[in-house]
Amino acid sequence: MVSETYRGHGMIKLIKPYISFDEVETEFREIFENGCFTRGKHVAAFAEQIKAYTGAHHAFLTTSATTALWMCMRLLGIGNGDEVIVSDFSFPATANIVEDVGARPVFADVSMDTFNMLPEELERKITSKTKAVIFVDALGNPSGIHTIKKICRDRGIPLIEDAACAIGSSENSIRCGNLADLTCFSFHPRKLLTTGEGGAITTNNDDWAKRLAIKLAHGAVTQNGKFDFVDYGYNFRLSELQAVMGIKQLKKLDAIVQDRSRIRDAYKLELEAMGFRSQQVSKNVMHNVQSLVFRVPEGLDRDRLITDLKNQDIESTLGTYCLSGLNYYKQKYSDIRQNSRSLQEQTITLPCFHNVNTMQVCKAIRKTFKIKSAK
Ligand SMILES: Cc1ncc(COP(=O)(O)O)c(C=O)c1O
């Protein structure tokens, strides 16, 4: 399932790519022979397949989740004087794109269990300036999006789902991509499906889709085989080579998700017995286990654990970031959210891929904290 040629330089890495060169060789050769590197059949097919897989009415490929999210800001005309409420436990891109268009990112605290936006925080932060809400599927987990969606719908506020980590996840059997008004995915190499760099936007809104198609084509519509530039626009396109990679992985995505659930359960059994707490997932949610994140027991030093694991050739990292506590945002807005800050300090991401030796990782953790095995 994972690349057989991937070496990882002797280190147990956080993730291994779920694609090998053998799988793409035929199509890559064909592309090099026919010279069609962009805007060809593979890009068209990959966009169609993202649409079919998520169940969304429209899908657009982009160069990253960052450009996808930024495009949503432009699409909704968000700018100076506007506010966008964002989940506070996320990768900086979630807030950066709001800041970049001149609006204010308003940080909503998250649940210590699911790591996702708290509905009561959202309600508290809505003002007349709120132009959108960005709900982050923290580490791929969409738990709670339903409640957030209802609040947004009742108030007439567009809901953008930052599903950078969530391809393959679902709530109530509805896949991410078909839950919010606009959804943005990432295909970065840390994700389950990678095109090197890349991303996508999905929506069920026909008007937005029409405008996105134009914006993402330099502002052009094609009429009688000719371009007519009816708007200004951008180039955030994926290449044909990247689309081939995406197509190959999308086919096996559900199997990848199943496999990662098995790995999560193996880790949980060992680590929960040591007092570690796993990210909670609602009953009706399928979590793709994009990142396997645990809260380190109180009194144990998370940073020491990361260093100790590194010394044993095991890669790990923090869960993700408290956006309101990042230097730039802390200095500008001084509104640090406490749960999110605790999660940044207490969480650790552990290696998760097809044949990872979970026992070896757990043994290394036990060694760091001198915890005896229960068995
Ligand atoms: C929640 C979240 N949003 C946005 C991004 C940015 O994704 P990209 O690297 O595709 O721009 C990331 C990247 O990891 C992320 O985790």
Mean of all residue pLDDT scores within the chain: 95
In the predicted structure, residue 127 carries a pLDDT above the cut 70? yes
pLDDT of residue 107: 98
Res 9 pLDDT > 70: no
Q: Which CATH number fits domain 20-251: 3.40.50.620, 3.30.70.100, 3.40.640.10, 3.40.50.300?
A: 3.40.640.10
pLDDT confidence band for 367 (50 / 70 / 90)? very high
Ligand 1 close to Cβ of residue 199 (< 6 A) = yes
pLDDT digit string (tens) for 59-74? 999 999 999 999 999 9
How many angstroms does the Cα of residue 66 sit away from the middle of ligand 1? 6
Would the pLDDT of 10 be above 90? Answer: no
In order of 34, 186, 243, 265, 367, the CA distances from 240 in angstroms are 12, 17, 5, 37, 47
Most confident residue range from 4-8, 353-357, 370-374: 353-357
Q: Which atom of ligand 1 is nearest to the CA of 320?
A: 16
CA 91 – ligand 1 centroid, Å: 6
pLDDT at 6: 54
Ligand 1: centre distance to CA 89 (Å) = 12
pLDDT band of 268, cuts 50, 70, 90: very high
pLDDT at 85: 98
User: Does 8 score more than 70 pLDDT?
Assistant: no
How close is the Cα of 187 to the center of ligand 1, in Å?
A: 9
Question: Is residue 137 pLDDT above 70, yes or no?
Answer: yes
Specify the CATH class of 253-369 in words.
Answer: alpha beta
Amino acid at position 354, single letter:
H
Categorize the per-residue pLDDT at 369 as very low, low, confident or very high, splitting at 50, 70 and 90.
Answer: confident
Q: Is 319 in the pocket of ligand 1 (CB under 6 A)?
A: no
Across the chain, which distance is largest between two alpha carbons, in Å? Answer: 73
Q: Would you state the pLDDT for residue 206?
A: 98
Tell me the average pLDDT across 340-355.
Answer: 96
So where are the chain's domains?
20-251, 253-369
Question: Residue 374 pLDDT more than 80?
Answer: no
CB 177 within 8 A of CB 54: yes
> With 80 as the cut, is the pLDDT of residue 7 above it?
no
Task: For ligand 1, say whether the CB of 65 is within 6 Å of any of its atoms.
Answer: yes
21: exposed, middle or buried (Cβ count in 10 Å: 0-12, 13-18, 19+)? exposed
**Residue 1: pLDDT above 70?**
no
- pLDDT for the residue 372: 72
The verdict on the CB of residue 165 being under 6 Å from ligand 1 is yes
Phi-psi region of 156 (alpha: psi -120 to 50; beta: other; left: phi over 0): left
Q: What is the pLDDT of residue 371?
A: 76
Residue 5 pLDDT grade (very low, low, confident, very high; cuts 50, 70, 90): low
Helix ranges (DSSP H) in the chain: 21-34, 41-54, 65-75, 93-100, 119-125, 145-155, 206-215, 240-251, 253-273, 302-311, 327-333, 338-346, 358-369
Is pLDDT of 95 > 70?
yes
- Percent of the chain, pLDDT > 90? 93
- Could you tell me the sign of the dihedral formed by the alpha carbons of 331, 336, 340, 343, in that order? positive
DSSP bridge pairs for 136: 162
Write out pLDDT tens, residues 273-322.
Answer: 999 999 999 999 999 999 999 999 999 999 999 999 999 999 999 999 99
